[in-house]
Amino acid sequence: MSRLSYLAPFDWDSLLAFLSRRLFAGVEEVNDACYRRTAEIAGLRGWISVQNDATLSALRVEVSGSLVPVLPEVRARLRRLFDLEAIPEAIASHLGSLAEAHPGLRVPGAFDGFELAVRAILGQQISVKAATTLAARLTRQFGELIVTPFAALTRLSPRADVISRIPVKQLAAIGMPQTRAKSILALAQAVKMGTVSFDPSVSIDQTLATLKELPGIGDWTAHYIAMRALRWPDAFPQGDLGILKALQTKKPRHAAALAERWRPWRAYAAMHLWKSIVDTP
């Protein structure tokens, strides 16, 4: 058992709710206020289980014995996934009234950058629920089997090198347009070749530009990836329909102008805007 500390307040319930609507079924599950997933790091495979201990302001982490040799990397990835480096009081103070209702809201990150980027492409121009259905099909089709103590965890996340070799028609057969399948294939090939990296230390401007050179990846997808996989706190997908609705505008440029007051924490502003839509009766 390992612990990962954080600064309170920490809105664990909202974070889990966000992740639960965007799971890769077979790879991840949210159950009884617990997040679990499979993982493959440096050739080692296993499972991870995470629960919140609010009294200690820490997450309790359990990993399979197979992942103990890479525990430092597991911990680092979990800190990014659950945004444990955030300083919530400072962020909420800067956002003002926008953050009053949920000052502990975090920006969910990514345990695996490629996995998150694929999920972003799957989510283009369709509902969150529909994209999650596609993610489950992708996992069933291309994720390797793994045995765990948890019935819901049966697959590893499809790797970039595996997806890079899949024909477009075979990718599209899970139920998405061929144009979107081409985007996922191009992303996988770029990651395999090292053209695209999800290392947060890489220049954000450079990564955004590289991502947008790939077919089918525009500003929304690039900023969503930067927001979660690259941990850029000022990412802001200004054309997102939920954000436009929350800001009561139909113009992305107007949304961007309104969001200027929230720099350099616009990614957190986006989370609060999405939260305001989800929580609206």
Reported as a single tens digit per residue, the pLDDT across 72-89 is 999 999 999 999 999 999
Alpha-helical segments (H) within 53-177: 71-81, 88-95, 113-122, 128-142, 160-163, 168-172
Calculate the dihedral angle through the C-alpha atoms of 30, 188, 80, 27, rounding to the nearest 10 degrees.
Answer: 20
Reported as a single tens digit per residue, the pLDDT across 112-143 is 999 999 999 999 989 999 999 999 999 999 99
Verify whether residue 199 is a known catalytic residue.
no
Reported as a single tens digit per residue, the pLDDT across 15-53 is 999 999 999 999 999 999 999 999 999 999 999 999 999
User: Which residues are paired to 53 by β-bridges?
Assistant: 58
Report the alpha-carbon distance of residue 196 to residue 33 in Å, rounded: 34
All domains in the chain, ordered by first residue: 2-99 (3.30.310.20)
pTM beyond 0.75: the answer is: yes
Does 280 have pLDDT greater than 60?
A: no
Reported as a single tens digit per residue, the pLDDT across 127-186 is 999 999 999 999 999 999 999 999 999 999 999 999 999 999 999 999 999 999 999 999
In this structure, are residues 47 and 38 in contact, taking their beta carbons and an 8 Å threshold? yes
Reported as a single tens digit per residue, the pLDDT across 230-260 is 999 999 999 999 999 999 999 999 999 999 9
Residue 219: exposed, middle, or buried by beta-carbon count in 10 A (0-12, 13-18, 19+)?
middle
Which of the residues 11, 83, 112, 240 is marked catalytic?
240
Report percent pLDDT > 70 for the chain: 99
How confident is the model at residue 200, as a pLDDT? 78
